[in-house]
Amino acid sequence: MLNPDSCMEPSPGRLPKLEATRPHMEPKASCPAAAPLVERKFHVLVGVTGSVAALKLPLLVSKLLDIPGLEVAVVTTERAKHFYSSQDIPVTLYSDADEWEMWKCRSDPVLHIDLRRWADLLLVAPLDANTLGKVASGICDNLLTCIIRAWDRSKPLIFCPAMNTAMWEHPITAQQVDQLKAFGYVEIPCVAKKLVCGDKGGTLNILGILHLFLRVQCTSRSAAHARRAVAGIFKAEYCKREEKKRAPGRHGGSCL
């Protein structure tokens, strides 16, 4: 286990937030009877990348927080920051700077490993063409892609591709999506809609995903049961539909 004590002074406003969201770092009671057991919440880590669909990140986070029993954190790429204001994100928001500012010596925590341990589910929404290519190739050059590369594949990883229709229809895209599926990740397909650029492409009503979370919360008796239920529901709802023929122009654009 990593030592939470840093050999240097922490940056203001960074490590305290991390400590609040790292259950594996919390001190244990000296005696089992010393404190009652508290059922922890289901941890959802949202990854956001540099697609225009990142405009909807505040809405996505807000809707997730409306669901009882969920704890949410967000990991952003640098390019995704262009599409939203951090002031509109009411949860802990991590970026590349946090990874490097936290680690000063060998005893310090490694953020992408801590977040990988903390999360019960990783939802990458939107997943842009650039990050899709990186993940399919195993490249991990930022905080989010490092988390994905280190991801525990016994936990669900859900990805929502979002790019212009012309980019989606490039032959490499289908190969890369298939590679992610081969890793065991689950794609949330898009539906037809007019895009911000004016082209007709694809979008996904993110509220459909939220309904699945609600179903899990209503039927789950514990966080452990919820983790299994989420994995089962996503696979049952979407995996059987992934082999459907993709119509040209249908899946490009925004996943949100």
Least trusted range by pLDDT, from 116-120, 176-180, 231-235: 231-235
Give me the domain span that covers residue 140: 38-241
Domain membership flag for residue 246: no
Length of the chain: 256
Give the count of beta carbons closer than 10 Å to the beta carbon of residue 10.
15
Query: Is 101 part of a structural domain of the chain?
Result: yes
The answer as to whether 111 is a domain residue is: yes
Q: Is 197 a catalytic residue?
A: yes
CA distance 218 to 216: 5
- Which of the residue ranges 3-7, 42-46, 113-117, 169-173 would you say has the lowest mean pLDDT? 3-7
- pLDDT of amino acid 171: 95
H/E stretch holding 232 reads: helix 223-238
Distance set, CA 115 to CA 21, 75, 198 (Å): 9, 9, 37
Structural domains counted in the chain: 1
CATH number of the structural domain spanning residue 207? 3.40.50.1950
Q: Is residue 10 part of a domain?
A: no
Q: Do the domain assignments include residue 221?
A: yes
**Residue 256 in domain:** no
Domain-embedded: residue 20: no
pTM of the model: 0.74
Would you state the pLDDT for residue 166?
85
The verdict on residue 218 lying in a domain is: yes
Say how far apart CA 120 and CA 129 lie, in whole Å.
Answer: 25
Catalytic residue among 31, 105, 190, 197: 197
